[in-house]
Amino acid sequence: MQKDKKMYKDKQVNKKLGWLLLRLIRMEKNSEKELLEKLRKIYVGGWIPNKNLVKEHLSYQMKENNIEKNANEYLLTKKGYDVLSERKERMRKLRDKRTSKEACAAYSMWGNVGLSLLEFIVGFFSGSIGLIADAIHTAVDIIASAITWIGIRLDKEAQAALTGGIVLCGIGIFIAFESMTKFSQPANIQIQVIALLTIVVNIIINGFFSYYKFYVGGRTRSISLVADAYHTKTDIWSSIAVLIGLLGASLGFPVLDSVAGAVVSVFIMIGGYELISESKEVLQGKDPKLEKFSKFLQAHLQVLPDRGAFIVLWILNIQTMSRDECQQKVKEVLGERFPIGLKDTDYQNIFIRLKKENLIHLSKGKLIITQEGRETLKRLAEKPVASRFGIRKNFIDLKRIHTFSEGL
Ligand SMILES: [Zn+2]
């Protein structure tokens, strides 16, 4: 158990503090004391509000004419409303652009074009057979990503995913065949730094696109984009197999090349088969099970009940409100960033669970957080999540709180 709670510094909070105060004042008029209390709740005890810093921000916003003071309370001015809605509109536009599935598929296609060109050029000048073989594979990937893009444009996603699965199986067979021929006659591979570097670049670019396509594919529930993301993930395995082959050759075990290739080809064929069977089900009208192809999406679906509970409790701890208002805010907060597109039933389930566990209750048309709810909120805020690369992360951190605050 962790004893000393990690506290956020004034400097870390400062950047967002002005926006946060404007949002709190938009929700309802507040005195300075109330604002300080709400800020403490927003950071769930991770930041003890600095009175002077808050004062500074308030007087700046007064000077900017975003807020005004009436008796002891701060109110948002017309200009303040405009400033907040402009910011929201700007951020929404940016997000829509980044998470458009058509744009994502197009970027990925051009990424493959660039990668394939790079591999052909470096392969040609260095004479690396492995690199040229990978360039041919990447050229096939251009076709696969073009099919994805066309499938999205024509609204024939399941068909595109099915074709993608067949292409992936084909690639698996190609790699299997290639490794078998290398088994019988191991090639004399020469290690070239430039070839190695190119493969590393390939892994990095594919890593980025795989994540990006899973993210956009999950949010838009796009089977073809997720299928393509999965294919890109297998491209990383193929590149690692090529690296292992080169490493083996340099250590005097040229057979490693064929073994790595054979192992990867089996996984690719299984993956291609999975894609084919999943897209067939989608073609029959079933909901796509996107998380099957991504640990990233799977992990997010697993934390959904807790994350949803945290957000509802967090909002209600700041202010009581009607159920509709609360659900609207939860959608803003959770829906904007969650990598899987959530349905109305997902949001409803969160409320049902919280009521059943007696963490919230309804009184005179308003939802109110219970004492148990407050304790659960604190517990969730400090809940550790699986550490990655030895770095321990909390379920909720400063970055998340700031992201959530954008929805208030
Ligand atoms: Zn590929």
Supply φ then ψ for residue 342, to 5 degrees. -95, 150
Cα(205) to centroid of ligand 1, in Å?
Answer: 13
Cα(137) to centroid of ligand 1, in Å?
Answer: 6
Cα(163) to centroid of ligand 1, in Å?
Answer: 13
Residues whose Cβ atom is located within 5 A of ion ligand 1: 141, 235
Cα(168) to centroid of ligand 1, in Å?
Answer: 7
Cα(145) to centroid of ligand 1, in Å?
Answer: 9
- Structure tokens that stand for 318 in this block: 């700041």
Q: Tell me: the pLDDT tens digits for 57-75?
A: 888 888 888 888 888 888 8
* 10-96 shares its CATH topology with 295-405: yes
Cα(385) to centroid of ligand 1, in Å?
Answer: 33
**How far apart, in whole angstroms, are the C-alpha atoms of residue 150 and residue 168?**
17
Cα(139) to centroid of ligand 1, in Å?
Answer: 8
Cα(251) to centroid of ligand 1, in Å?
Answer: 28
Q: Tell me: the pLDDT tens digits for 356-368?
A: 988 888 888 888 8
Cα(341) to centroid of ligand 1, in Å?
Answer: 26
- Structure tokens that stand for 127 in this block: 């004479």
| pTM, full prediction | 0.80
User: Selecting from 1.10.620.20, 1.10.3720.10, 1.10.10.10, 2.170.120.12, what CATH number does the domain 10-96 have?
Assistant: 1.10.10.10
Instruction: Decide if 118 contacts 201 (C-beta within 8 A).
Output: yes
Cβ contacts of 27 within 8 Å, gap of 6 or more: 318, 319, 408
Cα(383) to centroid of ligand 1, in Å?
Answer: 39
**How far apart, in whole angstroms, are the C-alpha atoms of residue 368 and residue 34?**
18
Instruction: Decide if 373 contacts 302 (C-beta within 8 A).
Output: no
Cα(236) to centroid of ligand 1, in Å?
Answer: 8
In what helix (H) or strand (E) does residue 28 lie, and over which residues does it extend? none
Instruction: Give residue limits of the domains in the chain.
Output: 10-96, 99-293, 295-405
**How far apart, in whole angstroms, are the C-alpha atoms of residue 303 and residue 293?**
17
CATH class for the domain made up of 99-293: mainly alpha
Cβ contacts of 90 within 8 Å, gap of 6 or more: none
The CATH number of the structural domain formed by 295-405 is 1.10.10.10
Question: Could you list the pLDDT tens digit for every one of the 408 residues in the chain?
Answer: 444 567 888 888 888 888 889 888 888 888 888 888 888 888 888 888 888 888 888 888 888 888 888 888 888 888 888 988 898 889 888 888 888 899 999 999 999 999 999 988 988 887 777 778 888 889 989 999 999 999 999 988 888 889 999 998 998 898 888 888 877 765 555 667 788 888 899 999 999 999 999 999 988 888 899 999 999 999 898 888 888 887 887 787 777 778 888 888 888 898 889 889 888 888 888 887 888 888 888 888 888 888 888 888 888 888 888 888 888 888 888 877 788 888 888 888 888 888 898 888 888 888 888 888 888 888 888 877 765 566 667 777 888 888 888 878
Give the E-state strand segments of 14-58 in sequence order: 30-31
